[in-house]
Amino acid sequence: MENSLPLNLYRVKKTNLIINRLHIFTHGFALLALIYYRTTFLFQTFKIGDKNTPFLPHVLVFFSELILSFIWLLSQAFQWNPISRKVFPERLPGNDKLPSIDVFICTTNPIKEPSVDVMNTVISAMAMEYPADKLHVYLSDDGGSSVTFQAVKEAWKFSKWWIPFCRKYEVKARCPAAYFLADESEEGNGNGKFSSIEFIAEKKKIEEKYEEFKRGISKVIENTSSYTSRDHDPVIQVINDANCGLDSDETEMPLLVYVAREKRPSHPHHFKAGALNVLLRVSGLVSNSPYILVLDCDMYCNDPTSARQAMCFFLDSQVSPKLGFVQFPQRFHNISESDIYDGRLRFVWPKWEGADGVRGPLLSGTGFYIKREALYGTSNIQEDVDLVQLQKSFGPSNEFIKSLQRIYKPNAFKDGEFSGVLLKEIKFLASCTCDNLTKWGKEVGFRYFSVVEDYFTGFHLHCDGWISVYLDPARPCFLGAGTTNLNEIFVQQTRWMVGLVEVAVSRFSPLIYGPQRMSILQSMCYAELAYDPFFFLPLYCLAIIPQLCLLHGISLYPEVSNPFFIVFSFLFLSSQLKHIQEVFSTGDSIQTWAIEQRLWMLRSFTSYMYGTLNAILERIGLREASFLPTNKAVNDEQSKLYRMGIYDFQASVLLLAPLCTLYILNLVAFIVGVAKIFHIQQANEMFIQVFIPLFGLIINYPLFEGMFLRKDDGRIAPSVALLSAALCIIILSFGSLVLVY
């Protein structure tokens, strides 16, 4: 009877689907009308040879509208068929029937990624509610830092207290830092255990142990250099009682392995994808679990049942054969109420629900369970394939190749020790030459081609015919550290955009490479992200050209009395209302709408542009690929402003100058424009051109405050404002010359 009950269900989000499709048709129709208006207008001007209508600004504005329409069209694939899913872990078979899981956690820099937080992630993963003998946690230390190596031992010592405590009291929040911060009532499980005297005493004891653990880490940091090196041998170590100076006891603990792969300055290391591939190979010989959970070091397990939830798909025989990965959303624990930097990435996750309706969400770097087989691409390898062929794909290690077989029983690790021969093999698998001349990073494992290894690897898995599912339970399974500072957003977004443009302008462009291998809708989803960075082109045009033309009295839009005025107004309102509807449908307020509009513009003017430029420089060999990790260390001053909802403009000039320049330009245009409307009575033909800067000025009001009103440290430095004013004058004079003639 029980077997017939489904492990998971999905439901089409009907209301959203209807609203979305209505929007697609009406908005799409209005866009066609706009294109008709522009082409006939340009055609006529050209035919008559009208000397009074300057051609270039019209063409540029039309070009911007076309790019915006194109990206809009691509993004509709995410809107087509939104679905949501539910799982029933209580229907899973018994523990003895559950498959084993390897957890991969990546860290790279103990200064930017504070060890206490990284170890909290490690501990939360070890404490997951899953049979301990089926859970293996691997920590990749890309910095090869002795701080991390020592800290992970402290983490082991503390987990010996923490894990039994969590099991005994069915603690929900298994990340200790989060547990001790949370209000106890949140932790109540209704069975009275939480009020017992015994519990209170034990909790106190554990809290002391946690403080001891933190002191231990501080000591490590004091006494050890946090130097990270790009030139060192591989270090692989199982962390256990013996090497942590503890007496062994009966506590059932998951396996914990520390891995610092070999690094040499002469060898490219391919950043996180390289690190994950080393973990894939090393774990292949050590535990070889069929399923893998990947976590960034800044993202801890918030719900200990995530593995069981994921198994509701992997153990469902209807979904499973083609299922490559189960993706959970990235949610964050450090976002303030007002979320002024849009660090939550709210707008991303509804897209994933939409992608789920067209064969699956995109891989998002962290918080996903993936099939080892999907990463190896071995599902279509024949049993009798010859060794040479396999070595070409997977490298020369015979032991590793043996591990590809389903029946392989890993034997590298026995009785708490690596066997000598195999340790040598494992070190080879973690060496920087191991994947030379193989298909690692190309057709096997996480792909190297782009710094958004998650996006690009997921794309290939989908191209290979795997599907994925998106699960967004009420209690977030994972919680991360979101970016809460302008500079960090700039660094992070620029990196993402570099990665996306690398793909967009390559032979892997989802629009060319995709449709032969996946559905059109799915290719459109990938393409939308890949081409998103190009938003910077239309946005720059629309923040400069209508304004310059306004100053020169050149009208670029239909006058208010023209029927096509309605088309333009409709397009503006329809896109804003759709955005507002989306914001409301995730339970957010109109303020979120304004912030998302603002940050979208801000990102487009900066990260999208720099990202695109950097990617192009990389393509032509003038720049080397890089992966600058975000800084997760908290700065008290900055976080104070952030909590108060005040922008902190202590940021790079590269970031601020374009924003301030455009702001001043729009301010000038708006003031002059209004004066013109009143004095020369141009309201009819200039209405839209006055409205555009007005909208920009209102949405980006914090820039005005930052430049002209604020006196605190977080304001925009006067030197930056001056520089921007100078740039604005250059644009005004130079632009006028070009545009008018």
Please give the annotated binding residues for UDP-alpha-D-glucose, written as ranges: 112-113, 142
Binding residues among 453-482 for ligand UPG as defined by CB under 6 A: 453-454
- Least separation in angstroms between residue 18's CB and ligand UPG is 33
* Feature table: binding site: 112-113, 142, 272, 296
Provide the minimum distance between the beta carbon of 389 and ligand UPG in the complex, in angstroms, as a whole number.
Answer: 31
Regarding 452 and contact with ligand UPG (CB under 6 A), the answer is yes
Task: Give the nearer residue to ligand UPG in terms of CB position, either 287 or 483.
Answer: 483
Q: List the Cα angle 287/288/293 in 5-degree steps.
A: 95
Tell me whether residue 674 is exposed, middle or buried, using C-beta atoms within 10 angstroms of its C-beta: 0 to 12, 13 to 18, 19 or more: middle
**Catalytic hit among 102, 339, 342, 454:** 454
Alpha carbon distances (Å) from 165 to 123, 128, 133, 201, 416? 13, 12, 18, 12, 24
Least distance to ligand UPG from the beta carbon of 357, Å? 23
| CA–CA gap between residue 562 and residue 446 (Å, rounded) | 55
| Residues of span 175-194 touching ligand UPG by CB under 6 A | none
What's the closest the beta carbon of residue 650 comes to Mn ion, in angstroms? 21
612 part of the interface to ligand UPG, by CB under 6 A:
no
Phi, psi torsion values for 364, nearest 5 degrees: -120, 25
Distance from C-alpha of 229 to C-alpha of 225, rounded to nearest angstrom: 11
Interface stretch with ligand UPG, choices 342-350, 600-608, 626-634, 675-683 (CB under 6 A): 626-634
Residue 106 binds what, of Mn ion, ligand UPG, none (CB under 5 to 8 Å, by partner type)?
ligand UPG
Binding partner of residue 262 among Mn ion, ligand UPG, none, CB cut-off 5 to 8 Å per kind: none
CA dihedral 374, 379, 383, 389 (to 10 degrees): -60
Residue whose tokens read 């029927």: 563
Strand 255-260, strand 291-296: pairing: unpaired
Q: Does 453 bind Mn ion (CB under 5 A)?
A: no
CB of 213 to ligand UPG, least distance (A): 21
- CA gap 493, 505 in Å, rounded: 18
Of the residues 117, 142, 356, 435, only one is catalytic, namely: 142
As a three-state string, the secondary structure of 413-475 is: EECCEECHHHHHHHHHHCCCCCCCCCCECCCECCCCCCCCHHHHHHHHHHHCCCEEEECCCCC
Q: Residues 278-307: x/- map of binding to Mn ion (CB under 5 A)?
A: ------------------x-x---------
- 588 annotated active-site: no
Measured between alpha carbons, how far is residue 600 from residues 61, 220, 342, 728 in Å?
A: 19, 42, 9, 22
Handedness of CA 61, 540, 531, 30 (dihedral sign): negative
**Binding residues among 362-381 for ligand UPG as defined by CB under 6 A:** 365-366
Q: By rule CB under 5 A, what string of x and - marks binding of each residue 239-278 to Mn ion?
A: ----------------------------------------
Q: With CB cut-offs between 5 and 8 Å by kind, which of ligand UPG, Mn ion, none does residue 647 bind?
A: none
Draw the binding track, 628-647, toward ligand UPG (x: CB under 6 A; -: no contact): -xx-----------------
Which residue among 627, 642, 670, 687 contacts ligand UPG (CB under 6 A)? 627
| Alpha-carbon torsion angle 415, 420, 421, 426, nearest 10 | 80
Q: 104-123: which residues touch ligand UPG (CB under 6 A)?
A: 106-108, 113
In this chain, which of 65, 102, 129, 298 binds ligand UPG, going by CB under 6 A?
298
What phi and psi values does residue 87 have, to the nearest 5 degrees? Answer: -125, 160
- Torsion sign over Cα 455, 461, 464, 466: negative
**What residue spans of 306-368 are helical by DSSP H?**
306-314, 348-356
CB of residue 344 to ligand UPG, shortest distance in Å: 13
Cα–Cα distance measured from residue 713 to residue 646, given in angstroms and rounded to the nearest whole number: 11
Report if residue 296 touches ligand UPG, rule: CB under 6 A.
Answer: yes
Q: How many residues in the shown chain lie near Mn ion by CB under 5 A?
A: 2
Closest residue (Cβ) to ligand UPG?
365
Comparison of 165 and 600: residue with beta carbon closer to ligand UPG: 600
Please report where in the chains the tokens 């005005």 appear, as a residue. Answer: 704
Q: How far apart are CA 86 and CA 306, in angstroms?
A: 13
- Helix intervals (H) in 142-252: 146-169, 176-181, 184-187, 197-223
Annotated binding site for Mn(2+): 272, 296
Spatial distance between the Cα atoms of 179 and 161, rounded to a whole number of angstroms? 14
Q: How far is the CB of 455 from ligand UPG (least distance, A)?
A: 8
Comparing CB distances to Mn ion, the nearer of 8 and 630 is 630
Comparison of 395 and 482: residue with beta carbon closer to ligand UPG? 482
Work out whether 272 is an interface residue with ligand UPG (CB under 6 A).
Answer: yes
Closest distance to Mn ion from the beta carbon of 297 (Å): 8
Tokens standing for residue 735: 């632009």
Residues 128-167 touching ligand UPG, rule: CB under 6 A, are 140, 142
183 is catalytic: no
Q: Provide the H-helix boundaries in 49-79.
A: 55-75
CB atoms < 10 A from the CB of 223, how many? 10
The binding site for ligand UPG (CB under 6 A) comprises: 106-108, 113, 140, 142, 271-272, 275, 296-298, 365-366, 451-454, 492, 495-496, 499, 627, 629-630
Residues annotated catalytic, as ranges: 142, 454
Contacts with Mn ion, residue ranges (CB under 5 A)? 296, 298
